[in-house]
Chain A
Amino acid sequence: MSAASDVIIVGGGLMGSSAALFLRGHGLSVTLLETDLIGRQASGTNFGNVRRQGRPIHQLPLANRAIAIWRQSRELLGADVEYLQSGHIRVCYRERPELVGSMEDYAAKAREEGLELELLSGNALRDKFPFFGPDVLAGSYSATDGHANPRLAAPAFARAAARLGAVIHENTKIVDAQKVGEDFIVTAVDGRTFRAPILLVTAGAWGNALSSQFGEPVPITPKGPNMSVTEPVPYGILPAIGVMTPIEEETVYFRQVARGNIVLGGSTRGPSFPDQYRAYVEPQNTLSQLKHIRRLAPSLGKLNIIRVWSGIEGYMPDSQPVMGPSATTSGLYYAFGFSGSGFQIGPGVGETMAEVIAKGATDIPIAPYRIERFATPT
């Protein structure tokens, strides 16, 4: 006899946990299944940027929906996930002056979507934020972006969902999912089965394993973020900082948490191994990250890093997620493959997917993320 509910969610990251919470808000019964523990991979190991600027313009309505949830997260979740609306700065370097034009274009389009950005020269930035190095040419400042603690966020959403009646099974690895009649039957490795007329796959880098069972394989690549953290130093850097550049190795970012530690991220991503449930930080990537951090903010060279980490993220070839209904199977929905950019929009994804499932439609544009874009012509 399998456990029955209105919706089964496979994958207990930020997407699945927030979807569970908002589905309960629509009055649907929810079973959330997680292979390991809630929010341990991409959702728990990312940089923690709650950043709208730099996202594709078509994604800003979703990001705006998410920011509203982040702002009320303390009340919504009954927990502090260390969300701070302390600003975000994206900078470019002297050898790429053309990026200033790109920043200006982006700011004009973002304004139409309700995101105000202020462009600052390198010198104006250094006056305000003396840690910027001499190579910084210009920057785009978003006062209403910020950051939060990824280790805490997804588990807090899951606990809030559980308080509202969602049933959460951790340590439940799913090995099979199929539609039998009107219901999906989902089977765990230990033989337990779960049944529901609606199935939402929020399985991150493991998403393809499930979508393939419904004839919708997608070209997802597992990678891992390259993260480091310093010892705590007096709190003084409010905004999160990132570099805009076409070169992956130069793409570094940092933020300081109220406790004082500075979290460093970016440069080359590492490999990750979904089958072994492990991701490793490549030492050469740590060294390249620190080199590019020194260029961005030379004074950080005086500090030590005390820990590095990574996790399993799923990347799509176009860096856009798979989000929306299945093209082959009614009652089946996807939200995975967020390509290293899912944290900020996560709660918005959960609320939007809950709306799509409960009401059949949403005003948020999600067409760019449909799974059919990867369908092979037959």
Chain B
Amino acid sequence: MVEPRIIPRVVIVGAGPAGTRAAEACVQAGVRPIVLDEGRRDGGQIYRRQPDNFTRPYAKLYGSEAGRAQALHETFDGLKGAVDYRPETLVWNIAGGHIWTASQTYADTLPFDALLLCTGATDRLMPVKGWQFAGSYSLGGAQVALKSQAVSIGHKVVFMGSGPLLYLVASQYVEAGANVVAVLDTAHYSARIKALPDLLAVPSVLWNGVALTMKLKRAGVAVHNGIKPLEIKGNADSGVSGVRFRTGAGAEQEIICDAVAMGHHLRPETQLADLARCAFAFDPGTRQWLPKRDGDGRSSVAGVYLAGDGAKILGARSAEASGRLAALAALGDLGLPVDKGEMASLRGDVGTYAKFARGLAKAFPWPSEQASQLPDDAILCRCEGVTAGDLRGVMRETGAKEANRAKAFSRVGMGRCQGRYCGLAAAELIAAEAGVPVEQVGRLRGQAPVKPLTIAIGEEQ
């Protein structure tokens, strides 16, 4: 048994489902954690809270998950006196056992005994020719516009991609009265049938998904399965004007619209785990590199714990369980008494959600082959304006076939998003061109700052 520190310094990054439940566990154990969050309000992405002066009811904002959203928000509100909550604070680096933060130009450095990374996820995107035009959004971005500001991304909106978020955001748009002209899913319906045994691990969430699809159909929204995106039509001045795709039956079709929301489920935000020097491993199921962790959330680095979708995409319900579990693991490691029985039960919950997540991956597979089929003139990296043809040309000229090497020579992934949006697709394209498995392409090394950092940092301390 480790002697507990008099006041263990616990830092939680992220105030979404995982971060909130982790903070709650700390407070219950008598520890006052520091909770750092980039958002203006707690809740994270999926349970994003509307601005203070907005008054839409929970049922309207969160649908079937209204009860969970409300419970999470109320938990966080109840913790406020007991946690050191620092919203609008970016963690831009982790080094030497310290966290480096920026809040506008204010810089701070925090030591920690335990660090819980609950950093959440962003959309996993597959580039489509024309995706750089104004009016092209990620599913998450479209959802933020609606939840936070109660606006639609366009007058005629197409949802394209795959995964549960495709149906969720589309139905939220329908619910809000927006004009959803079509839902275009790259996954075949048959994949969902095959995935049923795994999806039945969490019947209520499965039922929610079915209900969303039915709601879209009732609203008269055209839903196409097994499509292949060909092009987002438009131009640099007036933005998106339509979507061209191949139907599951093989016919080419075009739909007129002025906005597209796209995405293929989610990818974890792992840069902080990388900067904390956590070991990573390739996960064949999602074709992503993920930070290694044990069943309780311990990373390969002592004192650093990983929870929620920031470690692996297992969904919001799992995030609540894994956030609490990782916090209990951290508190136990710090020598505080923890309920071993509860930890075992939480491990069971996380395992159930993991089975469901495997089902989702089968039902809505990442269409990796689309990266290699991108036409040469399609932009692959939007930040740097690098086309698929540019990258292929660089590979031919230089022989580069490793992710960081291809980045150094072509600028793919070198822009302000640091490859968070194009990196997975770029790796698939490199793998296909080089004729190697995607894990051999490696992963883009995380580099500070995690998000853009003002040069004025530290100006007014």
Q: Which residues of A contact B (CB under 8 A)?
A: 37, 44, 79, 151-152, 155, 159, 230-231, 259, 280-283, 286-287, 290-291, 293-294, 300-309
Contact = CB atoms under 8 A, between A and B. Distances in A.
Nearest to A155: B398
B408 A44 contact: yes
Interface string B439-457: 0000000011100111111
B405 A308 contact: no
B408 A151 contact: yes
Contact of B455 (A44, A151, A301): A301
B416 A37 contact: no
A303 B448 contact: no
Interface in B263-280: none
A304 B452 contact: yes
Contacts of B397: 79, 159
A150 to B, nearest CB: 10
Given A155-B398, A155-B409, A287-B107, A306 B418 contact: yes
B459 interface: yes
B93 interface: yes
Contact of A304 (B98, B418, B447, B455): B455
A231 B96 CA distance: 27
B452 A294 contact: no
B459 A294 contact: yes
Interface of B: 92-93, 95-96, 98, 100, 107, 109, 384, 397-398, 402, 405, 408-409, 411, 414-416, 418, 447-449, 452-459
Contacts of B95: 280, 282-283
Contact of A305 (B409, B449, B459): B449
A231 B452 contact: yes
A206 B458 CA distance: 37
Contacts of B411: 259
B453 A305 contact: yes
5 contacts: A155-B398, A283-B92, A286-B448, A306-B415, A307-B447
Contacts of B415: 231, 306
Contact of A309 (B447, B453, B454): B447
Contacts of A290: 455-458
Contacts, number: 75
Contact of A303 (B398, B447, B455, B459): B455
User: Binding site of B, secondary structure by majority: helix, strand, loop or mixed?
Assistant: loop
A286 B93 contact: yes
Contacts of B93: 283, 286
B453 A304 contact: yes
A277 B411 CA distance: 23
A151 B456 contact: no
B409 A301 contact: no
Contacts of B384: 259
A283 B384 CA distance: 25
A151 B452 contact: no
A230 B416 CA distance: 9
Contacts of A303: 454-455
B455 A308 contact: no
A44 B398 CA distance: 15
Contacts of A151: 408-409
B381 to A, nearest CB: 12
Contacts of A280: 95
B448 A308 contact: yes
Nearest to A230: B455
Nearest to B99: A283
B456 A283 contact: no
Contacts of A159: 397-398
Contacts of B447: 307-309
Contacts of A79: 397
B416 A301 contact: no
A302 B455 CA distance: 7
A232 to B, nearest CB: 8
B455 A281 contact: no
A24 B170 CA distance: 63
Contacts of A259: 384, 411
A301 B397 CA distance: 38
B416 A287 contact: no
A293 B453 CA distance: 14
A287 B408 contact: no
A107 B53 CA distance: 65
A149 to B, nearest CB: 10
A326 B447 CA distance: 39
Nearest to B402: A37
B218 to A, nearest CB: 45
Nearest to B416: A306
A305 B452 contact: yes
Nearest to A306: B416
Indicate the member of B455, B456, B459 with the most A CB atoms within 10 Å.
B455
A294 B416 contact: no
Nearest to B94: A283
A259 B457 CA distance: 24
A37 B405 contact: yes
Task: Report the 5 A-B pairs with minimum CB-CB distance, sorted nearest first.
Answer: A304-B452, A301-B456, A283-B100, A283-B93, A151-B408
B416 A231 contact: yes
Nearest to B418: A307
A308 B458 CA distance: 17
A243 B418 CA distance: 29
Contacts of B100: 283
B454 A301 contact: yes
A34 to B, nearest CB: 13
